[in-house]
C-alpha cells in the first residue's frame, strides 16, 4: 500500500522510528532504528511494508528496496513473522543471509533469535533459488559510523544498544555474556549493535 515515506526523523527508539510528514507522525518499525540517530530533524526516505492482520496494523521500514524485498520474502516462510524477519535483517549482512540459504547453511541461520532447525530448514526449502534479484551488487551498509552522531555518552549508547538487542529477541543471558567485552570500547549505539550481533552470530 505504501511504497515509501519521505519525511523528517522525529523520534528514534529501540524498536521503531517516527517520521513526520505534513504534520503526521508515522511509527515505523525498522531492523536497527539507531542508524537514524544521526539524522534527527533531517529528511529521509524509508521504504515501507504495510503489514495487516486481524489484530495488528503496522508499518515496517527499510533503507533500500532490496532490504524490503528480502523482508517480504522472509514473511512467506512458515514460522517467521515480522519481528523475526527484522531480527534477521538487523545483522546488516543481507548477502550473508542469502548465501546461507543458497548453501543450506542451517548452522548459521539458527543463530538468529526465534530461528530453530525446523524454521531454518523451511527458509532453505522456501527461498533457495528465489533470491537472485536481491544479491547482485547489493551490499547493505546499515551501520555507517560516519553518518552517526557521536555526541552520546558511552553509557547511554550502550544502554540503547542493549534495549535494541532485547527488542530483537535476544535474552538477558545472551546480552550479559557479551557485555563485558563490548563495554571496553567507546562506540556509538549502532556500532555497539553491530559488534554485538557479530559476536552473537558466531
DSSP codes of every residue in 106-134: HHHHTTSTT--HHHHHHHHHHHTTS-TTT
* pLDDT value of residue 139: 33
CA dihedral 156, 157, 161, 163 (to 10 degrees): 20
Domains in the chain: boundaries:
4-62, 65-127, 145-200
Beta bridge partners of 61: 48
Read off the pLDDT of residues 54-74 as tens digits, 9 standing for 90 and up.
888 999 999 988 899 999 999
Cβ atoms within 10 Å, residue 4: 14
| CA 52 to mean position of chain CA atoms | 20
Read off the pLDDT of residues 2-53 as tens digits, 9 standing for 90 and up.
899 999 999 999 999 999 999 999 999 999 999 999 999 999 999 999 998 8
Quick one: pLDDT band at residue 153, thresholds 50, 70, 90?
low
Which residues have C-beta within 8 Å of that of residue 24, sequence separation ≥ 6? none
The answer to whether the beta carbons of residues 179 and 149 sit under 8 Å apart is no
The answer to whether the beta carbons of residues 7 and 44 sit under 8 Å apart is yes
Residue 147 has pLDDT above 70, yes or no: no
| CA 22 to mean position of chain CA atoms | 27
Q: Which CATH number is associated with domain 65-127? A: 1.10.150.20
Look up residue 200 and give its three cell numbers: 552473537
CATH of 4-62, one of 2.30.30.230, 2.70.70.10, 3.40.1440.60, 2.40.50.140: 2.40.50.140
- For cell 523482508, the residue is 71
Does the predicted TM-score (pTM) go above 0.75? no
Amino acid at each position: 500500500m505504501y511504497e515509501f515515506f519521505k519525511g523528517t526523523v522525529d523520534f528514534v527508539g529501540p524498536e521503531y522510528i517516527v517520521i513526520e510528514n505534513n504534520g503526521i507522525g508515522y511509527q515505523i518499525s525498522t531492523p536497527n532504528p539507531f542508524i537514524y540517530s544521526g539524522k534527527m530533524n533531517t529528511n529521509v526516505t524509508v521504504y515501507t511494508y504495510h503489514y495487516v492482520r486481524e489484530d495488528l496494523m503496522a508499518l515496517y521500514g527499510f533503507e533500500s528496496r532490496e532490504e524490503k524485498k528480502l523482508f517480504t520474502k522472509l514473511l512467506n516462510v512458515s514460522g517467521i513473522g515480522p519481528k523475526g524477519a527484522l531480527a534477521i535483517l538487523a545483522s546488516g549482512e543481507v548477502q550473508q543471509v542469502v548465501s546461507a540459504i543458497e548453501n543450506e547453511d542451517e548452522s548459521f541461520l539458527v543463530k538468529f533469535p526465534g530461528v530453530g532447525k525446523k524454521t531454518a530448514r523451511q527458509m532453505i526449502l522456501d527461498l533457495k533459488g528465489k533470491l537472485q534479484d536481491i544479491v547482485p551488487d547489493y551490499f547493505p551498509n546499515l551501520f555507517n559510523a560516519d553518518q552517526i552522531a557521536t555526541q552520546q555518552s558511552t553509557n547511554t549508547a550502550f544502554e540503547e544498544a542493549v534495549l535494541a538487542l532485547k527488542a530483537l529477541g535476544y535474552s538477558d543471558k545472551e546480552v550479559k555474556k557479551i557485555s563485558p567485552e563490548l563495554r571496553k570500547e567507546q562506540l556509538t549505539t549502532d556500532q555497539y549493535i553491530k559488534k554485538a550481533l557479530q559476536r552473537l552470530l558466531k
